[in-house]
Each structure stands twice: as structure tokens, then as C-alpha cells.
Amino acid sequence: MTYIPISPTERDAMLKTVGVKSLDDLFDAVPKKRRFPKLDLPPALTEMEAAAHLAEMAASNEHVREDLISFLGAGAYNHYVPSVVDHMLRRGEFFTAYTPYQPEISQGTLQAIFEYQSLMTNLTGMEVSNASHYDGATAAAEAVNLAYAQFRGKRKKVVISPTVHPQYREVIRTYTQGMGVETAGDDATNFEVGPEALTSLIDESTMLVIVQYPDFFGRIYDYAKLIEDAHAKGSLVCVVANPTALLMLKTPGEMGADIVVGEAQPFGIPLWYGGPYLGFFTTKKSYVHKMAGRLVGETVDNRGQRAYVLTLTAREQHIKRERATSNICTNQGLLALASAVYMSTLGKTGLQEVANLCYQKAHYAANELSKIEGFGLCFPDPFFHEFVLCTPKPAGEVNQYLLDNGILGGCDLGRDYPSLANHLLVAVTEMNSREEIDALVEVLKEM
């Protein structure tokens, strides 16, 4: 049935009210060459024809589970998603629910968000979590906003490790345009040094230091000393973390981090062509008033029953705009639910098993790949489930050869780090069997 919002009579009445005779008159201010009075659309299809056409288009897509063996990571990882996750997401009360502007009638949604927040604080070792952001890069940029608000603009320097995800660094630069924020350390040529190299860049004008754990190249560092040095200069520290790795490694909270952010896609969210994903944001209670986004709290109603509410909202929607620390008015509610269901389903033991499988399989792969003539591990540092492989040819050529043999290779680091044209970032998860790893090794041997 065609959707007609207004009748012709109502349309004419509206045009008369604004002082024009026709719809075309509304566009007089637009140059004629910029107008598109007629869309160049193909002939209409019946529902049956449209369904067949769309199915044919979808069939051309390749799938990492059915068509390709995948070793691609760099921030988005191919993990197994239990069927219960999708089952819960498709329940009508969750699937169709909108942002809870009337929390008193959205108790189920608020409780789901509250449980997600509780799980994220336990995972990161922090004290408080918000209801989520659009993705990990957004969460990292909001960490800069928190620091800016905390120091009221008196400090404007951000020290960013060059081994923070390149896309995260780009989003931070976009966010901070016009704020007078100075960035330091964000040099794509200075990636081989450890965290101690950032210490010399921290001074009394630094408001935030941002590092990644494990870093973009998969390397694991203990940032406790760097965090201590940053705090000595009065600066905050934000750690961009891989949530799966936190099941095996020391938490950023134990290192003394002030803010922990990252991408929760590994927890129950498929690859989905790069999104939508789920950014998590956790911090200390002392910074909760400067934290962006939503925060769900637990309380007791007038009947003495447990209830959930939106609380401490520092968004311009709720308080004076000049006092607001965020203009983010929503969160990834459905995907936060997916993440919470995933974590609850696997439990602590299951999550640790996933992390251990990733770790063991990645190290098996690294060991076998390093035996191939012309290939080798580029960095000696400990790693979790991602590592840099030096290749005898440009990584782009290696990836094309792998793709021709049904394998989706690693990330070509030369795209973001020009000096690393012959370097491949390889990711291994629990989804990669020993047979698949051996197949990767054999194909590269042939090359």
C-alpha cells in the first residue's frame, strides 16, 4: 500500500499558507542545474521479482564462515556468536524498543543496559561504565572530551601512541577540530619503540595520554610505569583495550588507568561489513560527571521495589548546553544487549576459554609461519592473538595470492604505515582450526 502522508487538499492549503502556488515554487532558490525533477530509476519490479533480484545480489557476497578462511583482524574479529544472542535480540520487546526517554516504562531495557554496564566494569577493572557508544573510535574520542572537561580547557595537549589504531587516531583528530587541542606522539614512523618513549612527551600541559592494549600490532606492554609517570604530571590516561584479551591479561584498572575504552564487537557481534559495532567506555567514579552518553543506575521505587533509572546525565538534552559534556543522546542499546547476552552465556570460564584458544592458536600459527623461507615475525614482543608477519613481497600482493586461494589474509600495514609495505597483521581466533592454519602455511610456502 502506498504511503500518502497528506491529501492534495491539505498539501495545497499548506502551500497557500507559506505563500507559494506549487511544490516547484518551493525550490526556486535552488539553481535549475542542481535540481532533479525526475529520478532515473529502473522499471518497477513485483515483490517476487524484487526478492529474487536481491537474493541474487546477496549471493555474490563472500562469507568468512562459508566461502573464505579469515585471518583478518585489525579491530574487528571473527568470533563465534552463540545462537541465543540472536534469539534474544529478536524478541519484540528488545528489537523494536527505542531509546528509553521515559525510563519508568522501560524497565526491561534499562535493566539490560545496567547488566551490560556491570559486566564491562568487571572486565576492565574500572568503577563505572556508560551505556555504550557508536563504536570504539567514538569512545576513544569521547575520552578526550572527558579530559578536556575535567581540566576545563586549561590543559590542551593529548599524547597519543602511534600504535593506537589509525582509525581511532583519525576520529580523535576529527573530534578535536576547533578545540585548540594539540596532539603529540602521533607519528606513524615512530612505532617500534615501547611505551617509555611517550614519557618524555608528557608535561604540565598534557591532559590525556592514550595507549592501546594490546597495541595495533598485537604487542602486549605493561603500562603501569607510564601511567604512574603521567599521573605524576597530573595527566589522565586512557587505555584502548581488546575486551577478549582482558580475560587473560592484567586489567587496565590494575595498571592504574583512568579511562578504559574499546570495541566490544568481539563479544557477540558479527563482522557485518564493518558495522554497526559497539563502543564501550568505562572510567573511575570521580570522573562520572564528565562522562559522555547515558548511564543507567539502580534504585528503589516508592513501593520499595528495585528500579532502574537514567542518572547523572550530563547531556545537553537534560542540562544547560554550556554545562553539558556531551551531545550524544543515544547508545547502541541492541548491540549492548548482544554483548551482555554473549558474556552471560559464556560466563567467566567460557570467556577465558575463548581467550586461551585465541592465544594458543595464534602462537601456533606464528611459529609455523616463521618457518617459511622469506617470512618471519617482525617484533619479538609478547602478543595475544594478533602478530605482524614480515613478507618477502608487498603485503597487498600476498593478500591477493591468498584470496585467489580462498583465504582472507591479514591487514596490509603499508596503508597506514608507509614503511611497512611488506608487513602483514595476522589475526587468529577460536574460529580458526589447525587445518585452516596449516592451509595458510602451505599456500604461503607455494608463494
What is the domain-level CATH number for residue 196?
A: 3.40.640.10
Query: What is the arithmetic mean of pLDDT over 83-112?
Result: 82
Which of 341, 362, 386 terminates a domain? The answer is: 341
Q: Rounded CA gap, 210 and 163, in Å?
A: 10
Q: What pLDDT is recorded for position 108?
A: 87
Do 114 and 243 have their domain in common? yes
**Nearest to 75, CA basis, from 139, 162, 142, 136:** 136
Work out the pLDDT band at 335, boundaries 50, 70, 90: very high
Q: What pLDDT is recorded for position 326?
A: 66
Pull the grid cell for residue 388: 605482524
Domain of 441 in residue numbering reads as 69-82+348-446
Work out the pLDDT band at 224, boundaries 50, 70, 90: very high
Q: What pLDDT is recorded for position 67?
A: 79
Q: What are the Cα distances from residue 73, in Å, to 313, 388, 424, 428? A: 35, 11, 11, 8
Do 167 and 311 have their domain in common? yes
Is 277 within the bounds of a domain?
A: yes
Higher-scoring residue by pLDDT: 28, 187? 28
- What is the tens place of the pLDDT at every residue in 248-258? 999 999 999 99
Quote the number of domains for the chain: 2
Do 223 and 324 have their domain in common? yes
- Stated length of the chain: 447
Which of 310, 341, 372 terminates a domain? The answer is: 341
Residue 32 pLDDT > 90: no
Residue 316 pLDDT > 70: no
Q: What pLDDT is recorded for position 4?
A: 67
Do 267 and 364 have their domain in common? no
Do 435 and 300 have their domain in common? no
Query: What is the arithmetic mean of pLDDT over 421-426?
Result: 96
Residue 325 pLDDT > 80: no
**Nearest to 88, CA basis, from 334, 270, 275, 330:** 334
Q: What pLDDT is recorded for position 94?
A: 84
Is 263 within the bounds of a domain?
A: yes
Do 292 and 369 have their domain in common? no
Q: What pLDDT is recorded for position 140?
A: 97
CATH (domain of 355):
3.90.1150.10
Do 408 and 321 have their domain in common? no
Q: What pLDDT is recorded for position 105?
A: 72
Residue 348 pLDDT > 80: yes
Is 62 within the bounds of a domain?
A: no
Query: What is the arithmetic mean of pLDDT over 360-371?
Result: 98
Which range has the worst mean pLDDT, 194-208, 295-309, 325-339, 361-375? Answer: 325-339
156, amino acid identity: K
Do 91 and 199 have their domain in common? yes
Query: What is the arithmetic mean of pLDDT over 66-74?
Result: 91
What HEC string does the chain produce? CCCCCCCHHHHHHHHHHHCCCCCHHHHCCCCHHHCCCCCCCCCCCCHHHHHHHHHHHHHCCCCCCCCCEECCCCCCCCCCCCHHHHHHHCCHHHHCCCCCCCHHHCHHHHHHHHHHHHHHHHHHCCCEECCCECCHHHHHHHHHHHHHHHCCCCCCEEEECCCCCHHHHHHHHHHCCCCCCEEECCCCCCCCCCCHHHHCCCCCCEEEEEEEECCCCCECCCCHHHHHHHHHCCCEEEEEECCCHHHCCCCHHHHCCCEEEEECCCCCCCCHHHCCCCEEEEECHHHHHHCCCCCEEEEECCCCCEEEEECCCCECCCCCHHHCCECCCCCCHHHHHHHHHHHHHHHHHHHHHHHHHHHHHHHHHHHHHCCCCCCEECCCCCECCEEEEECCCCHHHHHHHHHHCCEECCEEHHHCCHHHCCEEEEECCCCCCHHHHHHHHHHHHHC
Model pTM score: 0.87
Work out the pLDDT band at 447, boundaries 50, 70, 90: confident
Do 316 and 415 have their domain in common? no
Residue 139 pLDDT > 50: yes
Q: What pLDDT is recorded for position 186?
A: 85
Q: Rounded CA gap, 106 and 89, in Å?
A: 16
Do 412 and 427 have their domain in common? yes
What HEC string does 181-222 produce? CEEECCCCCCCCCCCHHHHCCCCCCEEEEEEEECCCCCECCC
Which of 279, 309, 341 terminates a domain? The answer is: 341
Is 41 within the bounds of a domain?
A: no
Residue 51 pLDDT > 90: yes
Query: What is the arithmetic mean of pLDDT over 180-201?
Result: 86
Residue 171 pLDDT > 50: yes
Is 317 within the bounds of a domain?
A: yes
Is 190 within the bounds of a domain?
A: yes
Q: What pLDDT is recorded for position 314?
A: 60
- What is the tens place of the pLDDT at every residue in 256-301? 999 999 999 999 999 988 889 999 999 999 999 889 888 899 999 8
Residue 185 pLDDT > 70: yes
Higher-scoring residue by pLDDT: 315, 6? 6
Do 278 and 360 have their domain in common? no
Q: Which residue has the cell 612505532?
A: 191
Work out the pLDDT band at 26, boundaries 50, 70, 90: confident
Q: What percent of the chain shows pLDDT beyond 70? A: 93
Is 40 within the bounds of a domain?
A: no
What is the largest distance, in Å, between two alpha-carbon atoms of the chain? Answer: 79
As a whole number, the mean pLDDT across the chain is: 91
Q: What pLDDT is recorded for position 271?
A: 92
Query: What is the arithmetic mean of pLDDT over 241-254?
Result: 98
Is 18 within the bounds of a domain?
A: no
Do 204 and 266 have their domain in common? yes
Q: What pLDDT is recorded for position 1?
A: 44
